[in-house]
Amino acid sequence: MARPTNTQFAVGVHLMTLLSAAPDVVQTSTGLAGSVGTNPVHVRRVLGLLRQAGLVASRPGSAGGWLVTRPPREILLADVWRAVVGEDQVLGLHEANPDCTAGQRIQRALVEVDRRAARAIEAELQATSLADLADGIDRLPAVAATA
């Protein structure tokens, strides 16, 4: 199976889970990036989207960082999805050649499939809160670190 090229949703959920685990602790993007396994610039981009959605808040200054704004039971995975994915296409549709009749028809047909897929994804994510996800994570066995 091909790997997705946009990992912002997974990164967003990871960040929200970390912040929710210690809601009163201001966490830096550098510290968060270490856990997520990406660079702090990418983390700040995703956190910026989450802040625009009202899911996190930032504190400026040398003691600054990021905090979650609501309890994990009140934050749905769909909230994170809408914050970081928004109205983007789920299927990653390409621009068809305007001179190709088949390509134009396929494109229009895929747009409708994409809309249905997006609705199905959002409906599934609407049923799971960050707290639900954290509970599930706690039940998973630990994976040994690789060298």
Q: What is the CATH number of the domain that holds 57?
A: 1.10.10.10
Report how far residue 15's alpha carbon sits from residue 40's, in angstroms, rounded to the nearest whole number.
Answer: 12
| pLDDT over 90, % of the chain | 54
Q: Is residue 118 in a domain?
A: no
* pLDDT on residue 2: 47
Q: Give, to the nearest 10 degrees, the angle between helix 8-21 and helix 29-36.
A: 120
Q: Is residue 145 in a domain?
A: no
Domain that holds residue 38: 8-86+129-139
Taking only the tens place, the pLDDT of each residue in 39-87 is 999 999 999 999 999 999 999 988 899 999 999 999 999 999 999 988 7
Q: Is residue 71 in a domain?
A: yes
Report how far residue 130's alpha carbon sits from residue 109's, in angstroms, rounded to the nearest whole number.
Answer: 34
